[in-house]
Chains A and B, each alone.
Chain A
């Protein structure tokens, strides 16, 4: 069966520091991968998605970037965090070619101080 991992689970970072969040999927190949951010009490904001290695689509222009160095690995990065980057970061995957279903990872709660 397929599983999705995210780490770290929680993170507290100072303003201006760099960020790297990692997401990996097991038990599938060539998944679509997604990064969402959820501010406290708010909805799901799609940040980036990828349909293959090295293919990244950006939904919201900001100081974040994403990379997909391997088929089942998706990384969210920032060179300098802002206070407004605080939130719950969710990675998700979908087989799409075989099924439309999308499944979320456990998330990373980021607090920028």
Chain B
């Protein structure tokens, strides 16, 4: 079955710098890749997603890139702000499956 690995587990950046979180997946048939942001004590919120027919998607300061050949996708946050501090989860949905396979999460800390 599908397996998703997420790195790094923790990431500290200075305010204004960029942050990159990378996930690799094992099932080449996976076709949907969402990213969630979870603030302390809150529910995970869908922040951006990408489908396998697209290589890159951008929404203001966040972007996701997908490399189907290498089977990895990445979240890019530019001009980080303290409110970007949270745990970020990637996930993959195998084609025809009913459940997402989540990565283990990355704790991002943005220092002012």
Q: List residues of A whose CB falls within 8 A of some B CB.
A: 32, 34, 42-44, 46, 49, 51, 57, 59, 90, 96, 100-107
Given the known interface contacts A43-B89, A43-B104, A100-B32, the answer about A105 and B43 at a Cβ–Cβ threshold of 8 Å is: yes
Q: How many A-B residue pairs have CB under 8 A?
A: 42
Residues of chain B within 8 A of A106, CB atoms compared: 43
On whether the beta carbons of B43 and A43 are closer than 8 Å, the reply is: no
Residues of chain B within 8 A of A51, CB atoms compared: 98
Q: List residues of B whose CB falls within 8 A of some A CB.
A: 32, 34, 36, 42-46, 49, 51, 89, 93, 98-100, 102-105
On whether the beta carbons of B98 and A32 are closer than 8 Å, the reply is: yes
Provide the bound-state CA to CA distance between A34 and B98, in Å. Answer: 10
Classify the interface of chain A: helix, strand, loop or mixed: loop
| Residue among B49, B93, B99, B105 with the highest chain A CB neighbour number at 10 A | B99
Given the known interface contacts A43-B89, A90-B44, the answer about A101 and B102 at a Cβ–Cβ threshold of 8 Å is: no
Residues of chain B within 8 A of A100, CB atoms compared: 32, 34, 49, 51, 93
Shortest distance between the CB of B106 and any CB in chain A (Å): 10
On whether the beta carbons of B46 and A101 are closer than 8 Å, the reply is: yes
